[in-house]
Amino acid sequence: MTNDINQVQMLVMSILQIVLRVPITFAGALALALLAIPDLWWLLLAMIVVIGALGAFMTVKMGGYFGKIQHYIDEVNTIARENMMGVRVVKSFNQENAQMAKFNHASGLMETLSIKIGYAFAVMVPGFFMIANVVVGVAVLLIGNQITSHPAYLAVISSFVGYVLQILYALMNAAFIATGATRAFVSLGRIGEVLRHAPSMLFPNRAPVLNLDGGIELRNVTFTYPGDDEPVLKNISFKVQPGEMLGIVGATGSGKSTLAQLLGRLFDPDTGAILVGGHDLRELNPRSIRKAVAVVLQRSTLFSGTIASNLRQVRPDATVADMEWAAKIAQAAEFIDQLPERFDAPVDERAANFSGGQKQRLSITRGLIGQPAVLVLDDATSALDARSEKRVQEALARDLGHMTTVIIAEKISSVMHADRILVMDHGRVVGNGTHAELAATNRVYQTILDSQRNTEEVG
Amino acid sequence: MQSDFQIARHYFGHYLKPYPWQLIISVLTVAIYCGAAVYTPILLGHAVTQLTTVLAEFRAHQTVVMAPFIRTAATMITINVVAGFADCATSAILGWVAGVSTSRMRSELFAKMQRIGVSYFDRTEDGDLLARFTSDLDNIFNAMNQVFVNSFYWFGSLIGVLIMMFSSNVMMGVVTIITTPLAVLVCWFVITHASRAVNEQQRAVGALNGYINEQITGQKVIITNGLQQPSIAGFTSRNATVLQAAQRGQIWAGMLMPVMSGLMLLNTAIVIFFGSWYVLQGNMALGTGLAVVAVFVQYAQQYYQPIIQLTSVYNIIQQAVTGARRVSEVFAQPDEVRSTDGKVIDGVHHGVKLTDVHFGYLPGVEILHGINIDAPRGHMVALVGPTGSGKTTVMNLLNRFYDVDTGSITIDGTDIRALELTSLRNNVGIVLQDPQLFSGTIRDNIRFGDPDAGDAAVINAAQQARIHDYIMTLPDGYDTLITDEQSVFSAGQKQLLSIARTILTDPPVLIMDEATSNVDTVTEAQLQAAMNAVTRGRTSFLIAHRLRTIVHADEIDVLRHGTIIERGTHAELMAANGFYAQLYRDQMPELATNA
């Protein structure tokens, strides 16, 4: 995005700076030259045509080169980035030399083409100047031969020479801009694509409905990700009572994470409806949805700033007491209290100064701070050790009994204590009951349970 | 502390040094070109004088002697053709020098990155480091192409013009350069303001880019929390800052060239007025005078051209200087310490030992407070403990990504710092929690550690890692192209792939870090099997969250706040009923109720 915008910016800058000057200087110089020595109009025309043709040729040829070299640049940068991010892998496999060879190969291709482009310019630009200077020489010769019949020309030779050079500069500038413009138009096209992309979801501007109760209902929901062929959710229907703790388990591809995203209205279902507090999500003012449903994802991004600033993004009027309350339930109070600045502790870019488990607990805190009616945890405790995870759930059950909690998880141990568990398989709900019921009767659930148990003999 | 310009001079000097002949030849061709360029006005002057004579002769005697004039005109044309070729040669040679030297810069920067230790990468943001490759080197390339090549012409023509002017007519020469001190002052004034403004602009753009990056990465959080408006507001305000800074920067920087152009026109006017006045005062014959004025008008423009060109690319120069400094910073980083006479080992015969290891990433903040672990050959040692207890840190030490502060790590009694680094890493394999894949085919990724490995070895490794079957479902199989960002693998499958990668190199010592934490249920069974395959018979250190996966370890070390608080086998620790036992019971409730 930024590179494309830069290209367009440079195009606009060069357009403004030079497209205003170029036609004026060109027209002005041409006019003055013709006024000075009208007999040589054919010479000027010949020069303009030759240089114009060469310029056009250069623009077309260079356009192709620039496209190709951009491709090489991308390759080189990919290798560089991979080696930066995968430095541990490269070093531990002793692949430094192999990666250097790979890089130098890609870089070599770039170098070769780059030099080729340089050679092209090395011929064309001096070529332009040579043409102009030869024209000047020829003009002087011709003027001189007529000097006896046109003595007035003597005085204007100097100016004429100047005008010819001005015409040349104007033409050259135009050629260079045209060359740069092809690059910029590609960028312009890419930016236009993004801007033209109509938002696929409409958000009604209705009056906000506050105090939605935490009841959830899915009615015949089918959903396919844009670009996929197969629906990832197939005709799902279930109901959750306000205050219930619902667990959802299933293998990858079963659709459980997708459910979390639909509950937060990141996408709309293809068919069917999702209701929260009795209202279809599509009919609710977006602010109502955000207030009512908090979704905590597995890899929740925290923004650089402080812990407090992250929490206040969700709820600008959160007091320290509010933050402490949420942190306590999320089991984050334990490490926040150890930080000297507590909630004003800084969060670095990508929250690099916190461990994975701490990041997750902060994300859960953020989910709680708005006191939503529904809290959805999408595998949001995967980086916590078992004890912390259990404590979070106990705290949720104990302190927020009125809040509907939906826990989506891989491990059955994460959802065992839920009021009810949904079992998902390939986009369908194949089980609905308590842990004991499912363990006794549900085939899919039993398979999952077995695979999570240590199947080898305990010594 | 060296100034930016000193660093830049050193940097560019280093890269241009290998091409003395090319530079010398270029000087010659430039001299030819510039010589022609400055001689042409003189020829023009001659032509004008000769034509004046012709006219006078014609008027007086009705005779026309064109020969001298034609000779002059022909010479003009010829010289310009020769100059054209010299120009072409100069550009070609210098363009080549620019191309190969910038290519070398890129390669050497990459090579340097391979030598630097892991700590630099941990400390530095990816975006910032990558920028040195992309935008900083780009700025340097631009400068090389636009400034370096042209600077030869500028200096050449400047010298040439001065020589021609003063050998022709000293007084007119003085008049022509009379505005120089003014020009220098103006230049200095504008440049000082411009560099300040451009720096501000670059800083603002950097901040904006960082913000955009963050917001786009976290877009799901923004959407789910309804933060679109604040996000846009944050962008708008930063964008406004960029706008202001850019306007200021561009105005100052953009002002330079037009101002200098204006000075040039002023200069030309001075030459015309003074020259004409002088001639009209009767100090020179009309014809000669006309010629002299014509010539010096040309010189006035030629004199200022290089200065104007230089100021018009001032921006580029500034960015290149900054770029050179940033790239030089990377080169100033220390290399990983490799012993020159390190021992080479081939496998582990007795075991791996950590003895009283103390370590901290930052001075004064110790993370490990005296760790002792004795792992006999073939044993599996599991490290468990809460996040932040130091488990990943231990792994960073075993492979010498970082070195211990005090204490030692030994293989078969030899301190790992005494081993040849390549040999150490050949013998210690890793499987990371977040596996990084590389652009290339699946086959390339599996044999990453041994690019010459045959297909049989690759397939065998994939089978042991339980990923072979999935690969065979792909249309291109092992030849499928992947990159780390767009691959056909889920998170769990990436981990299987990284296990295959390690299995292929068959290391005697293995370190696995939280490999099972990102996996989905079905693949977990496969992963368990894969892990069993990769740990069998190896001396392994397993860092785990999920206790069920390390129940069979020969030794379990429980880490808390940088020390080992419990040690034993699973049975022993359960019997001891301590921290580990509690951790286990929390995670295995179904086993507790059903066992």
Residue A6, chain B, CB below 8 Å: the answer is no
Domains and CATH numbers, chain A: 2-196 (1.20.1560.10), 216-452 (3.40.50.300)
Q: Shortest CB distance from A451 goes to which of B223, B524, B545?
A: B524
Using one digit for the tens of pLDDT, what is the confidence trace for B379-418? 999 998 876 678 888 888 998 999 999 999 999 999 999 9
**Mean pLDDT in residue range B563-577:** 90
**pLDDT value at position A457?**
27
Using one digit for the tens of pLDDT, what is the confidence trace for B68-83? 888 888 998 999 999 9
Tell me how far apart the alpha carbons of residues A220 and A208 are, in angstroms, rounded to a whole number: 26
Question: Is pTM beyond 0.90 here?
Answer: no
Backbone angles phi, psi at A214, to 5 degrees: -85, 25
Site of tokens 């995968």: A86
Range among A246-260, A361-375, B98-112, B425-439 rated most confident: B98-112
Secondary structure tally for chain B: helices H, strands E: 23, 12
- 260-299 in chain A: CB under 8 A from chain B: 261, 264, 266, 286-287, 289-291, 294-295, 297
Task: Look at B270 and B207; give whichever has higher pLDDT.
Answer: B270
CA distance B552 to chain A (A): 8
Using a 10 angstrom Cβ sphere, with 0-12 exposed, 13-18 middle and 19 or more buried, the burial of residue B393 is buried
Chosen from A43, A69, A74, A91 to mutate, greatest number of chain B CBs within 10 A: A91
CATH 1.20.1560.10 for domain B4-331, yes or no, is: yes
Residue A313, chain B, CB below 8 Å: the answer is yes
At residue B341, does pLDDT exceed 70?
A: yes
- Residue B358 per-residue DSSP state: E
Q: Evaluate whether B311 touches B322 at the Cβ level (below 8 Å).
A: no
Q: Which of B318, B281, B302, B248 is nearest to B39 (CA)?
A: B302
Using a 10 angstrom Cβ sphere, with 0-12 exposed, 13-18 middle and 19 or more buried, the burial of residue B254 is middle
**pLDDT value at position A206?**
65
Tell me how far apart the alpha carbons of residues A155 and A408 are, in angstroms, rounded to a whole number: 91
Query: Tokens at residue B222, please?
Result: 């923004």
Backbone angles phi, psi at A419, to 5 degrees: -65, -40
Tell me how far apart the alpha carbons of residues A308 and A320 are, in angstroms, rounded to a whole number: 8
**pLDDT value at position B415?**
92
Among the ranges given (A6-20, A320-334, B490-504), the one the predictor scored with the smallest mean pLDDT: A6-20
Using one digit for the tens of pLDDT, what is the confidence trace for B342-379? 888 888 889 999 999 999 988 888 889 999 999 999 99
**pLDDT value at position A196?**
77
Using one digit for the tens of pLDDT, what is the confidence trace for A225-275? 776 777 888 888 988 988 888 999 887 667 787 888 888 888 888 889 999
| Integer CA distances (angstroms), A234 to A221, A228, A272, A448, B442, in order | 7, 14, 10, 21, 33
Q: Evaluate whether B578 touches B566 at the Cβ level (below 8 Å).
A: yes
Tell me how far apart the alpha carbons of residues B205 and A381 are, in angstroms, rounded to a whole number: 37
Site of tokens 């695979």: A451
Site of tokens 């010298």: B159
Q: Shortest CB distance from B432 goes to which of A84, A88, A141?
A: A88
- 333-372 in chain A: CB under 8 A from chain B: 349-350, 355-358, 366, 370
Average predicted confidence (pLDDT) for chain A: 82
Q: Shortest CB distance from A301 goes to which of B217, B436, B521?
A: B217
Could you tell me the pLDDT band of residue B591, with boundaries at 50, 70 and 90? Answer: very low
The sign one gets for the Cα dihedral A80, A81, A82, A88 is positive
Site of tokens 């009379």: B178
Q: Shortest CB distance from A148 goes to which of B50, B55, B523?
A: B55
Chosen from A43, A75, A78, A92 to mutate, greatest number of chain B CBs within 10 A: A92
DSSP one-letter string for A249-276? EE-TTSSHHHHHHHHTTSS--SEEEEEE
B47/A140 touch (CB, cutoff 8 Å), yes or no: yes
At residue B515, does pLDDT exceed 60?
A: no
- 88-127 in chain A: CB under 8 A from chain B: 88-96, 98-100, 103-104, 107-108, 110-111, 114-115, 118-119, 121-123, 125-127
Which ipTM score applies to this complex? 0.81
Q: Shortest CB distance from B589 goes to which of A91, A92, A413?
A: A413
Q: Residue A208: its chain B contacts at CB < 8 A?
A: none
**pLDDT value at position A349?**
65
At residue A7, does pLDDT exceed 90?
A: no
Tell me how far apart the alpha carbons of residues A442 and A433 are, in angstroms, rounded to a whole number: 9
Using H for helix, E for strand and C for coil, what is the string for B49-70? HHHHHHHHHHHHHCCCCCHHHH
**A268 dihedral zone (left: phi>0; alpha: psi -120 to 50; beta):** beta
A161/B44 touch (CB, cutoff 8 Å), yes or no: yes
Torsion of CA B241, B246, B249, B252, to 10 degrees: -120
- Which residues does A403 contact at the CB level (< 8 Å), separation at least 6? A214, A243, A371, A372, A373, A374, A375, A396
Q: Evaluate whether A359 touches A351 at the Cβ level (below 8 Å).
A: yes
Q: How far from the centroid of its chain's Cα atoms is residue B256's Cα? A: 30
**pLDDT value at position A100?**
94
State the first-to-last Cα distance of chain A, in angstroms, to the nearest integer. 57
Using one digit for the tens of pLDDT, what is the confidence trace for B207-247? 777 788 778 777 777 776 767 788 888 899 989 988 888 88
Fold match, B4-331 / B351-594: no
At residue A126, does pLDDT exceed 80?
A: yes
Backbone angles phi, psi at B148, to 5 degrees: -55, -50
Could you tell me the pLDDT band of residue B557, with boundaries at 50, 70 and 90? Answer: very high
DSSP one-letter string for B503-556? HHH--SEEEEESTTTT--HHHHHHHHHHHHHHHTTSEEEEE-S-GGGGTT-SEE
Q: How far from the centroid of its chain's Cα atoms is residue A94's Cα? A: 33
Q: Which CATH superfamily is domain B351-594 in?
A: P-loop containing nucleotide triphosphate hydrolases (3.40.50.300)
B586/A286 touch (CB, cutoff 8 Å), yes or no: no
Q: Evaluate whether A238 touches A424 at the Cβ level (below 8 Å).
A: no
Shortest CA distance from B506: residue in chain A: A93
Q: Where are the domains of chain B?
A: 4-331, 351-594
B95/A115 touch (CB, cutoff 8 Å), yes or no: yes
Secondary structure class of B365 (helix, strand, coil):
strand
At residue B61, does pLDDT exceed 60?
A: yes
A103/B107 touch (CB, cutoff 8 Å), yes or no: yes
Size of interface A-B (CB pairs under 8 A): 310
**pLDDT value at position B376?**
93
Tell me how far apart the alpha carbons of residues B56 and B50 are, in angstroms, rounded to a whole number: 10
At residue A292, does pLDDT exceed 90?
A: no
Could you tell me the pLDDT band of residue B501, with boundaries at 50, 70 and 90? Answer: very high
**pLDDT value at position B260?**
82
Among the ranges given (A132-136, A396-400, B23-27), the one the predictor scored with the smallest mean pLDDT: A396-400
Q: Shortest CB distance from B48 goes to which of A157, A313, A416?
A: A157
Q: Residue A289: its chain B contacts at CB < 8 A?
A: 226
Average predicted confidence (pLDDT) for chain B: 84
If one counts every other C-beta atom within 10 angstroms of the C-beta of residue A401, the result is: 10
Tell me how far apart the alpha carbons of residues B545 and B385 are, in angstroms, rounded to a whole number: 7
| Integer CA distances (angstroms), A21 to A25, A168, A171, B301, in order | 6, 13, 11, 19
Tell me how far apart the alpha carbons of residues A284 and A293 are, in angstroms, rounded to a whole number: 12
